[in-house]
Amino acid sequence: MNKTQKVAWFQLIVIALAAIASVINSFLYMHKYGYSFTKAWWFGTIWPIIICVFLVVFATTFSKTFSKFYRKKGEILFDERDLLIQRQASRFGYAAAFVFFVASFIITSKVVGMDTLIPAYWLARFFLGGWLSMAVAHAITILVCYKFGLTNGKS
């Protein structure tokens, strides 16, 4: 398993832990303060998601600090196949974010109507959802491509 795969697994694990922590925090806010689920979800996701974004964005920077990610002398970390996989993963990440944005805007316009104002905090949710869909699709594409050798028919 190379460094790119380890970083992809790390990113998926961090996102999953942040999702679990967000649900737990939301239920704690619901029971402790009596908030509705939507309000509790907003407050419950703030810190887990901020930490998640920080760790996922800087995972490659932090990867040197973990002992299992240390580079061995003379080891090649990145070659042409890795570049092809990164490009394909970036395309899938972009496509996933695009599909998320289009779907969320269509659903929002159908639910609240075209002439209705939406609260400004929804923009943060749209941004977060788009970023999460991009990060998850990118990491999963990396893992699938390395597992099955999918590089657009190129070796």
Alpha carbon distance 81, 85 (integer Å): 6
Q: What single string gives the DSSP state of each residue in 57-95? A: HTHHHHTTTSGGGPPPTT-----HHHHHHHHHHHHHHHH
Alpha carbon distance 68, 2 (integer Å): 10
Q: Residue ranges per domain, the chain?
A: 1-73, 78-155
Q: What is the mean pLDDT of the chain?
A: 84
Q: Take residue 145 and report the two structure tokens written for it.
A: 């491509």
For residues 147-153, average pLDDT: 70
Nearest one of 21, 29, 65 to 47, comparing CA atoms: 21
Task: Give pLDDT tens digits for 57-80.
Answer: 887 666 655 545 556 666 666 678
Task: Give pLDDT tens digits for 7-38.
Answer: 899 999 999 999 999 999 999 989 988 888 87
